[in-house]
Amino acid sequence: MPPVLPDSASVVSDGRPSWDEYFMAITELVASRATCLRRKVGAVLVKDKRILCSGYNGAPSQIPHCRETGCLREQLNVPSGEKHELCRGVHAEQNVIIQAAFHGIPVAGASLYCTTQPCSICAKMIINAGIKKVYFKKGYDDPLSLEMFAQAGVELIRLE
């Protein structure tokens, strides 16, 4: 298992939030737009202290939200972390990468701020997109994602 690095930067000496705190606070605001009934997740891509794109979890565009249809995973009693394909929602990390691609924004070398540690499906996308660092707040029990991030050299940093 690769180590998850602790928060490296807190409040700067002049009383302002650190860059990490600033971007994570924005990520939490992005998560408030999520339409998933089980978990609200937000993601923000950052490069050179500039926000490139944001995304949150929920149904694809033009598709009814789970609030309207109900949660398929709950209806089928699917435990958290299993059978991700049995969900009408797109993960926040997937959405932020998709939105960047849709708008022609290059993300190679960027950092991802996410309210929740990415799952293994999102880890594959993050690795292939060339994202180098992932900052997250809440853990997620997916050892495969940790293993893949370590093998790919993607740095994981948990912000408290």
CB contact set of 53 (below 8 Å; sequence gap of 6+): 44, 45, 96, 99, 100, 103, 105, 107
Catalytic machinery residues: 93
CB contact at 8 A, 97 and 126: yes
Has 122 been labeled as part of a binding site? yes
Has 91 been labeled as part of a binding site? yes
Has 119 been labeled as part of a binding site? yes
- DSSP assigned state of 90: B
Give the residue ranges of the annotated binding site for Zn(2+): 91, 119, 122
